[in-house]
Chain A
Amino acid sequence: MFNRLKNQLDTVTNAGPTQKNAVIRVIGDRASGKTTYMAALARFPHAASNSLIQSITSVNDDGNELISKAQNLLEQGLELEPTDLTANTEDISDYQLSITLNGQSRLKGAGGAPIQLNISCKDYAGEFFSDLLFRDRDPKLADYLEDCAQATGIMFLIDGSAQRKDAEYAAALDKFLKALSNTSQTSQLKRIAFVLTKCELPDLWIKRHQPEQLAQAKFKQVCTKLRAWKSTTKGNIDFFTTSAFGVVGTRFPEANSKQQSRDRGGVTSILQDPQHWKPFGLVSPIYWLCTGDRHQKLDEE
């Protein structure tokens, strides 16, 4: 009888997709593309029928708001407004999304079953990374760090063309990691994903399948800091190339973006062709943050 019960339980657990969860915080400089990344992810436009990603659904109002932003702004050729540094960390939008991958995920132990990645994700205003972190006595900083300490994974977004700010980013990252380790809560942080954005640009697109080399070439000091963190905390790091706007065309792909400005901090662009909008690589870092694994097929999408 016990065997029968056990078999029944097994059947029940095998019926649904394997669930993997993560609490994610997205940090990075102003205009690095954090909210645009989230909006493109939530919108999930023009998925290919043979995509590994079956669906992306928003679970809460904030998540739905991302989809609105994608439709009303990005698809209309407008830039998203900069995210505000809120007075209260409770006011930070908390995007809850559920990403379902079909059964080719090959995750150990999943046995070919679909996987569902459930994330609760907050993207902090760029001001947090570039200003607040350095204002030690500002009470807001403590609030943000406490909020951040709940994260199991961090996505550190950097505009792929902002290599001239390598030293500044390394300093800010250093400050951030030290401050995080000093918060009252024990940090749950296991993984930091170094995510290069705007990789639809020609010189980045060419190297999109070598994210670690590209990151190392352009952001040497940041990589050094991350590796140091890895060795001292036993946390894990990995590198990703992404593009919220993606490219158009298969034989000779072109960036699906129109540049608005370029300076030391990188490039700002708008979506060029909404009818053929297909982001690149957005799910890969999330998969890794949730599972600790990389999936080759996801890395190529």
Chain B
Amino acid sequence: MGVIYVGDRAVGKTHLALELANPYGQNVKVLQPDYENLKSFLVSDADSTKPTEGIDFRFLEIQAQLPAGSKSVTVDWVDTPGEIWRESWQKNNPDEWQSFLENSRKSEGILLILNPYRETLQGSMASDYSTQQQWCKRFEKWVDFFRYDCPKARHIVICLNKADLFVDNLEQEASKLAFDPNGSAMTWRKRHSYILQKYFRPIQGQIEQINKSTRGLSVQCFITSIYNRPLLELPWIYLASFLSKY
């Protein structure tokens, strides 16, 4: 199964991958690239002289420990600029746009990372984030894209990142949601319901609609943070469950 790891620049995909590669992981490991390479991505991302317009293509190889054994997932990592949905950008960057489309068309699994929206945050940095309205609009663009440009898509995993900024008691929340291969924890369905209702309110209806209307396509929601390992691993464990071993 082809998996793409997408999301706008600055949502924190690199940091998430780097943290995932932390050797003290429980159920999920990063096999490639190694830690040093991942760190070099960070440096590259922070380089203000680098043009921000283009799409960066990288890859990740993840291994997840599942009840039936371990599974590896190879993931196409795509960093998209915010303007990607604008026709003007698509016209000015045709090769990159085509590449992006090709990658997406092959993908059965989509891991989309989102930033939180302004109204859930406190402090001065909140102004750096888009408003709820902008956030919803953006999400709609992604959804249309998945539904109409990703014909093979079966699993869409949406991660609301930087949960440490908008969750009151992250540890407590994580212990509710954590994965337990022996099955004594919440079911995936309950996790999704819980997170959907608590953190994805503004787009809850849309997500429910997708889940109901398209057979063979399901959307599962998560919250992630580099400061909490169990939450960080959940989306990967979920996606890996659907892969064939052989």
Contacts and interface: CB of A to CB of B under 8 A. Distances in A.
Chains A and B bind each other: yes
A67 B183 contact: no
Interface stretch (B63-71, B75-83, B95-103, B167-175): B63-71
Given A65-B245, A81-B216, A274-B183, A75 B188 contact: no
A263 B216 CA distance: 16
B233 to A, nearest CB: 14
Contacts of B188: 76-78
A68 B187 contact: no
A61 B216 contact: no
Given A65-B246, A77-B189, A270-B189, A72 B183 contact: no
B241 interface: yes
A292 interface: no
Interface in B188-228: 188-190, 212, 215-216
Interface size bracket, B side: 10 to 19
Nearest to A67: B68
B241 A73 contact: yes
A130 interface: no
B215 A275 contact: no
Interface string A34-70: 0000000000000000000000000001101101101
B242 A81 contact: yes
A111 interface: no
A71 interface: yes
B187 A81 contact: no
Contacts of B189: 77-78, 270
A82 interface: yes
B122 interface: no
Contacts of B154: 81
Contacts of A78: 188-189, 241
B48 interface: no
A82 B216 contact: yes
Interface of A: 30-31, 61-62, 64-65, 67-68, 70-73, 75-78, 81-82, 261, 270, 274-275
Given A65-B246, A78-B189, 12 more contacts: A31-B215, A70-B68, A72-B66, A72-B67, A72-B71, A76-B241, A77-B187, A77-B188, A77-B189, A81-B242, A261-B212, A270-B187
